[in-house]
């Protein structure tokens, strides 16, 4: 998925000016994140805008706001929005999510956040910004969700297992509790490498589900094909 553009069934995403290209993580999060009849959706750290576009495709009545710190990525995401059939329901806010304010709350908030607090950094500052938590520590992300999520709303994000555990422990201090977890593996013989989770204000038993991207044969699993059906070409 490293091309300068990526064609979906209902929209096209240009990504040559974005440090982080479209990934399986983003596509899976965009396909899984949900809540009942969301009217206002917030995408934190939008990058190319792909998750916001997927949510616009899924939720026909929703108004979607995307927040992106990097100026070039935000400009490209805005162009991707304007080039889509969902343009009237999408808006881009460029800047730090810590500085974002809204008089209205959001029914659904999604984020594919940076998660390396102490990882060896590369020589590319834009990639570092997208991957490392320097600009968006988990505590500050949760604080903004605390301010912006509606009473019945849900917050969805994707993280590696260790970072998700750290995030859960911090979220509890704000009264946010996990309700659903999708544990993603590349194949049955590979370890869980990502967890997609939803958080809400209600403390409840977690519904956990493991899934694989591919079978041991190399074929995509039925679950994955059903999940991305309607989005990616060929599915």
CATH number of the domain within which 73 lies:
3.40.50.150
- Domain assignment present for residue 88? The answer is yes
Average predicted confidence (pLDDT) for the chain = 90
pLDDT for position 92? 97
* Residue 3 banded pLDDT, cuts 50, 70, 90: low
* Assigned token pair, 7: 């064609």
Show the domain range for 79.
5-206
- Domain assignment present for residue 215? The answer is no
- Domain assignment present for residue 234? The answer is no
Mean pLDDT within 194-206: 95
* Residue 228 banded pLDDT, cuts 50, 70, 90: very high
Q: Is the pLDDT of residue 232 over 50?
A: yes
- Domain assignment present for residue 226? The answer is no
- Burial bucket for residue 198 (CB in 10 Å: 0-12, 13-18, 19+): buried
- Domain assignment present for residue 212? The answer is no
Q: What is the radius of gyration, based on Cα positions, of the chain? A: 17
* Residue 120 banded pLDDT, cuts 50, 70, 90: low
- Domain assignment present for residue 98? The answer is yes
Domain count, the chain: 1
- Domain assignment present for residue 230? The answer is no
- Domain assignment present for residue 16? The answer is yes
């Amino acid at each position: 998925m490293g091309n300068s553009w990526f064609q979906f069934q209902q929209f096209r995403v240009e990504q040559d000016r974005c440090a982080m290209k479209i990934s399986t993580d983003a596509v899976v999060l965009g396909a899984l994140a949900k809540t009942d009849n969301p009217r206002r959706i917030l995408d934190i750290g939008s990058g190319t805008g792909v998750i916001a576009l997927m949510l616009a495709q899924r939720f026909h009545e929703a108004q979607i706001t995307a927040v992106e710190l990097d100026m070039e990525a935000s400009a490209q995401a805005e162009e991707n929005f304007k080039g889509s059939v969902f343009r009237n329901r999408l808006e881009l806010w460029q800047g730090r999510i810590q500085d974002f304010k809204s008089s209205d709350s959001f029914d659904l908030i999604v984020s594919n956040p940076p998660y390396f607090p102490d990882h060896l950094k590369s020589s590319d500052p834009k990639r570092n910004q997208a991957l490392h938590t320097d600009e968006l520590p988990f505590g500050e992300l949760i604080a903004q969700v605390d301010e912006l999520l509606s009473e019945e709303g849900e917050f969805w994000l994707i993280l590696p297992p260790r970072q998700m555990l750290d995030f859960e422990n911090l979220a509890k201090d704000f009264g946010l509790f996990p309700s659903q977890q999708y544990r993603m593996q590349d194949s049955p013989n590979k370890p869980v490498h990502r967890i997609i989770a939803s958080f809400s204000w209600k403390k409840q038993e977690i519904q956990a589900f493991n899934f694989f991207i591919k079978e041991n044969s190399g074929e995509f699993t039925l679950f994955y094909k059903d999940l991305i059906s309607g989005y990616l070409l060929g599915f």
